[in-house]
Amino acid sequence: MKKFEKFANMKGGNGEVLIESFIGESEFNGMGRLFAKVTLPKGSSIGYHVHEGDFETYYFLTGKGKYVAGKGDERVESVIGPGDVTHTPEGEGHSVENIGDEDLTYIALVLFSEQRKK
């Protein structure tokens, strides 16, 4: 079941974000909530947010981005591109911004942590 959604200023970010979900939340059998291709047009971003009760992994397909991750004031910034993988564990946060001239696209997977599954 594919589902397309467009969000403006996601998590306090800039511009629009297009999310193409590959499966619905009900298909995760209580183990997760997102498996999707995410597209950030030039200049768009998803604002910094902390994962509570879940964790998220990205696999980057196209474009160039700035990825910020960490906990509290201990944040690390890196430049990401095709083939890069990021992982945000439960209790940590992240943001992503398209800093290139083409769409930044990636596969996102959000699974629930042990604490949430119980």
pLDDT digits (tens, 9 = 90+) for 87-113: 999 999 999 999 999 999 999 999 999
β-strand pairing of 74-80 with 65-71? antiparallel
C-alpha span between 20 and 35 (Å, rounded): 9
**CATH class, range 3-117:** mainly beta
Residue 12 pLDDT > 70, yes or no?
yes
25: confidence class by pLDDT, cuts 50, 70, 90: confident
* pLDDT of 71 strictly over 50: yes
